[in-house]
Amino acid sequence: MNDLYYSIFDAGCIKFGEFKLKSGILSPVYVDFRGLVSKPELLAEIGKKLAERAKEIGCDRIAGIPYAGIPLGVAASIAGNIPMLYPRKEVKDYGTKKLIEGEFSPGDRVLVIDDIITDGASKIEAITPLKEAGLVVTDVLVILDREQGGDRILAQAGYKLHSLGKLSEVLDALVSTGKVEPEMRAKVKEFIADHQFG
């Protein structure tokens, strides 16, 4: 997995410094996988790893969470030949007016895929329309777990979290190759410990 960690760092998906988060809190680390759509080789590699995990977990379909999870879902769908669907953020008021795009049958087991988890709220929000449509959702798969309690929040709601990696593992790999200073790792770990959810 270290090679993947180096690739996502080199691609600019993980940045260190001082970043203002949506909550207004200043964070020493910023993770953003949305730029993967401009890096097809890396997106394909991640899609393959997601597909491998999806097959281990077991599912009939995968669901990418809008918006960052959709290209990841497509990449995993193609790599693993697993049918995909996705919940819309808002219902169209024209055409079919569907809340879920893609073919499915009630009772299908769906694995939810997204890029990262912090507190898990967006995952639970995206799962709701899937369950209301009769789909069975028990698992969520992300590229990176920020280790801020999202796994606990999902577990309390009845879902199991799976990830390709954890932020602490990425930090250790980057420090071992000199890409990140040990002081930055300590700063990020302290920030994560001080900002837990659930």
Per-residue tokens: 85: 């669907």
pLDDT of residue 198: 84
pLDDT of residue 128: 95
How far apart CA 86 and CA 113 sit, in angstroms, is 10
User: Mean pLDDT across the chain, nearest whole number?
Assistant: 95
Average pLDDT in the 170-188 region? 98
Task: Tell me the CATH number at 132.
Answer: 3.40.50.2020
pLDDT at residue 85 tops 80: yes
pLDDT at residue 44 tops 80: yes
Distances (CA, A) of 12 to 1, 42, 161, 189: 17, 12, 25, 20
Per-residue tokens: 82: 């697993």
How far apart CA 72 and CA 196 sit, in angstroms, is 26
pLDDT-derived band at 50 (thresholds 50, 70, 90) equals very high
Full domain range(s) for residue 68:
2-194
Contact 154, 124 (CB under 8 A): yes
Closest among 29, 79, 31, 39 to 187, alpha carbons compared? 29
**Cα angle, residue 76 at apex, residues 109 and 155 outer, rounded to 5°:** 45
Beta-carbon neighbour count of residue 23 at 10 Å?
10
How far apart CA 144 and CA 169 sit, in angstroms, is 10
Q: How many domains does the chain have?
A: 1
Contact 196, 167 (CB under 8 A): no
How far apart CA 189 and CA 194 sit, in angstroms, is 9
pLDDT in tens, 99-140: 899 999 999 999 999 999 999 999 999 999 999 999 999 999
Contact 143, 72 (CB under 8 A): yes
Q: Which amino acid is at 106?
A: P
Give the β-pairing of 26-31 and 14-20.
antiparallel
Average pLDDT in the 44-58 region? 99
How far apart CA 97 and CA 80 sit, in angstroms, is 29
Query: Of all residues in the chain, what percent carry a pLDDT higher than 90?
Result: 90
pLDDT at residue 96 tops 80: no
Classified as helix, coil or strand, 22 is coil
pLDDT of residue 90: 72
Task: Give the phi and the psi of residue 58 in degrees, each rounded to 5.
Answer: 95, 120
